[in-house]
A and B are shown apart, each in its own frame.
Chain A
Amino acid sequence: MHFRRNAAEKLNDDRLQQALKKLQSRFVDSRATALAELPNFPEIREAAAAIRQRAIENLDAYLLRFEREATARGAVVHWAEDIEDANRLVVEIARRHGVRKAVKSKSMVTEECGLNDYLASVGVEVLETDLGEYILQLAHEPPSHIVAPVVHKSKEEIADLFEARHRRPRNTGIAAMCREAREVLRPGFLAADMGISGANFIVAETGSVLIVTNEGNGRLTTTLPRVHVAITGIEKVVPTLEDASTLLRLLPRSATGQSITNYVSILTGVRGKDEADGPEHFHIILLDNGRSRLLGTELQPMLRCIRCGACMNHCPVYQNIGGHAYGWVYPGPMGSVLTPAFVGLENAIDLPNASTFCGACADVCPVKIPLPDLLRHLRRRQVERHLRPRSERAALRLWSWAARHPAVYALLTRAAARLLHRLGGKKKYLRHIPGASGWTRGRDMPAPSGRTFRELYQSRNSK
């Protein structure tokens, strides 16, 4: 992962910068408006965090209850240790039911698994049906936001893509493009043998999978094909339908500023004997992939996450570089915690540092995850494990030694203050600091006055 290089590239990408501005105004403002209509928002938020906390603290018991209920209704519950397990299970299910074509509704867990490529490699055709994910499938790109996956693309880019791939007259109106995608995708839904979805929550009380969508593709994916496979992380369990209802007051509001998504589907078991629609086979895959390793550690609160995306919408770092710069499936502050946790701290060395610690992410999190604390914890672990660059470690050792020797420290700072003052010249601004060009490349720094704090303090006292 090359976070620094990616970030620099994204900062200079004009189209992306325009798209990000739009995202910021729409999601940030709509969230604020939508939450203002809940006069007891603080209590609801408190309750939501407590529900997720209780589920995580009793994860095994709730998962076993979920498994029992789901099985009693005719679903088959599978457990996957890692993404290889999950992908292999999906292929086995596809083979067992003679599946050739699959449709998929939006799922970040399947992005985590790289499921599409895996299925394609064994001859199962997968069609993404969320409009944003479908566009990305045509463009062979990963999502850049967990809720608005194609936020980085302009409508002209999408029009080009549709024209090239659909071989239809070019549409540039957004409504016309949406209708075009609907017309292209509808036959895909009708022809599919298998529907693949994620789950926003799984309900222990009833063994149900709960999915929120706006487009209706989630409903089509889980209603029309004869096989439904839902893949979800083990942490998504909630105890009761009442608990799900509490969380649903916050999830869409935090995500897109909607009081509720267009569709909330609660799916329990398979098609009944006399029913004309619904899948005949329902498989649920519970994926661990590093989640259980977070239990009992400082990172455990991260498992409360309900994937609303509010932390990234409000993050000054995400707002300026977008999601792709983060290098893996989950971007923004939640991604800066999850990516090191799932792929290894040594493989995501810059992410815990991709934060100004302004605290906006924690302020807007509907389940009160203390994201800056978790990032700080990861920074500390980086230092403890000697993962920071040699030059940084040497510089910090030097500083630490100087700080423990006040006389030396005073001498060094006096010399530095004098030098920087002279470098500032008449304009009293530093255009370039040798050895710290990263700071001055994009901005000028006011030059120091030439005297250190200690000198000023001493002269004031002596007056």
Chain B
Amino acid sequence: MSARDRILARIGKAHNSGIAADVDGEIRRRQRGPLPPLAGDLVKRFGERAANLASDVAQAHTITEVPDLVARYLRERQLPMQGVCWPALAPYGWPAAGIGLEARAARGDDMLGVTGAFAGIAETGTLMLLSGPETPATVSLLPETHVAVIESTRIVATMEQAWDRLRAERGALPRAVNFVSGPSRTADIEQTVTLGAHGPYRVLIVIVG
């Protein structure tokens, strides 16, 4: 008998049953738990909650405004203007704004990463990023500055709504779903919160539309 068989046998014996429960049917129902009530405008709440979690939040009317807005943000903080981005975001006039972006996965020494987002969760002010050939996960992780560009129509109330949208639009889960809520942080030394642990030191969220 393998370890697998022995473990399953012990569980079955303790429950005094074979594997009878219709877990597949249970899973298909995808019953939601009680949701917290969310009053008011979702986009506004998303921005407020994100700012609470130490993200910087900016608004742009159209995507074409974004490069100048990002350039201003970087210059004000004297941050590097070179980095990487998701391929879909490459064609929006970054060089004219003075920003040099390569469309590829990030390396350990890249300082700026520009991504989109599959969804924004208004409940907590959280970005939802999906990995994929066109959306490498390292771009939001290795650089010290992460800029996320999100259409206001992608903002939903809860994680549960985001799952529905993911199932409807993609079917299956990508290799990695990453929920990002502000810059990386640690409070391991004397319970003092410090921003910028192993991931980005700052996250700029640009809401478009």
Binding site for B on A (CB under 8 A): 19, 22-23, 26-27, 37-40, 43-44, 47-48, 51, 54, 57-65, 79-81, 85, 129-132, 135, 148-151, 154-155, 158, 174-175, 177-179, 182, 185-187, 189-190, 204-206, 208, 214-217, 219-220, 222-224, 234, 239-243, 245-246, 248-249, 256, 259-272, 274-278, 286, 288, 292-293, 295-296
Chain A binder among B65-73, B75-83, B88-96, B171-179: B171-179
Q: Which residues of B contact A177 (CB under 8 A)?
A: 189
| Interface residue tally for chain B (C-beta within 8 Å) | 72
Taking a contact as CB atoms under 8 Å apart, the answer to whether B184 and A23 are in contact is no
In the assembled complex, the Cα of A256 lies from the Cα of B23 at a distance in Å of: 33
Q: Which residues of A contact B136 (CB under 8 A)?
A: 275-277
10 shortest A-B CB distances, which residue pairs?
A216-B199, A246-B33, A215-B197, A295-B14, A132-B188, A296-B14, A276-B105, A274-B133, A216-B184, A79-B4
Q: Which residue of B is nearest A239, CB measured?
A: B27
Taking a contact as CB atoms under 8 Å apart, the answer to whether B141 and A223 are in contact is yes
Partner of A293, one of B10, B20, B105, B172: B10
Partner of A215, one of B21, B32, B174, B184: B184
Q: How far is the CB of A52 from chain B (nearest CB, A)?
A: 12
Q: How far is the CB of A92 from chain B (nearest CB, A)?
A: 13
Partner of B159, one of A217, A248, A268: A248
11 contacts between A and B (CB under 8 A): A65-B23, A79-B2, A131-B186, A151-B191, A215-B185, A219-B141, A234-B7, A245-B33, A245-B158, A272-B175, A296-B14
In the assembled complex, the Cα of A260 lies from the Cα of B12 at a distance in Å of: 36
Taking a contact as CB atoms under 8 Å apart, the answer to whether B14 and A292 are in contact is yes
Judge if B202 is at the interface, Cβ distance under 8 Å.
no
Chain A binder among B56-64, B124-132, B147-155: B124-132
Known: A174-B192, A260-B181, A272-B132. A47 touches B19 (CB 8 A): no
Taking a contact as CB atoms under 8 Å apart, the answer to whether B27 and A240 are in contact is yes
Taking a contact as CB atoms under 8 Å apart, the answer to whether B133 and A267 are in contact is no
Partner of B174, one of A54, A178, A262, A268: A268
Q: Which residue of A is nearest B24, CB measured?
A: A65
Taking a contact as CB atoms under 8 Å apart, the answer to whether B137 and A154 are in contact is no
Q: Which residue of B is nearest A261, CB measured?
A: B181
Q: Which residue of B is nearest A175, CB measured?
A: B194
Q: Which residues of A contact B189 (CB under 8 A)?
A: 131, 135, 150, 155, 158, 174, 177-178
Taking a contact as CB atoms under 8 Å apart, the answer to whether B187 and A256 are in contact is yes
Q: How far is the CB of A124 from chain B (nearest CB, A)?
A: 22
Q: Which residues of A contact B24 (CB under 8 A)?
A: 65
Partner of B176, one of A23, A85, A148, A265: A265
Q: Which residues of B contact A215 (CB under 8 A)?
A: 184-186, 197-199
Taking a contact as CB atoms under 8 Å apart, the answer to whether A272 and B133 are in contact is yes
Partner of A269, one of B175, B184, B197, B200: B175
Taking a contact as CB atoms under 8 Å apart, the answer to whether B188 and A277 are in contact is no
Q: Which residues of B contact A189 (CB under 8 A)?
A: 108, 198
Q: Which residue of B is nearest A256, CB measured?
A: B187
Judge if B168 is at the interface, Cβ distance under 8 Å.
no
Partner of A149, one of B14, B183, B188: B188
Q: Which residues of A contact B159 (CB under 8 A)?
A: 241, 245, 248
Q: Which residues of A contact B108 (CB under 8 A)?
A: 186-187, 189-190
Q: Which residues of B contact A129 (CB under 8 A)?
A: 198
In the assembled complex, the Cα of A450 lies from the Cα of B15 at a distance in Å of: 57
Q: Which residues of A contact B32 (CB under 8 A)?
A: 242, 245-246
Taking a contact as CB atoms under 8 Å apart, the answer to whether A263 and B184 are in contact is yes
Known: A223-B137, A292-B14. A182 touches B197 (CB 8 A): yes
Taking a contact as CB atoms under 8 Å apart, the answer to whether B194 and A178 are in contact is yes
Taking a contact as CB atoms under 8 Å apart, the answer to whether A214 and B105 are in contact is no
In the assembled complex, the Cα of A130 lies from the Cα of B175 at a distance in Å of: 23
Known: A85-B3, A204-B23, A277-B136. A265 touches B15 (CB 8 A): no
Q: Which residues of B contact A241 (CB under 8 A)?
A: 30, 159, 163
In the assembled complex, the Cα of A168 lies from the Cα of B199 at a distance in Å of: 22
Q: How far is the CB of A241 from chain B (nearest CB, A)?
A: 5
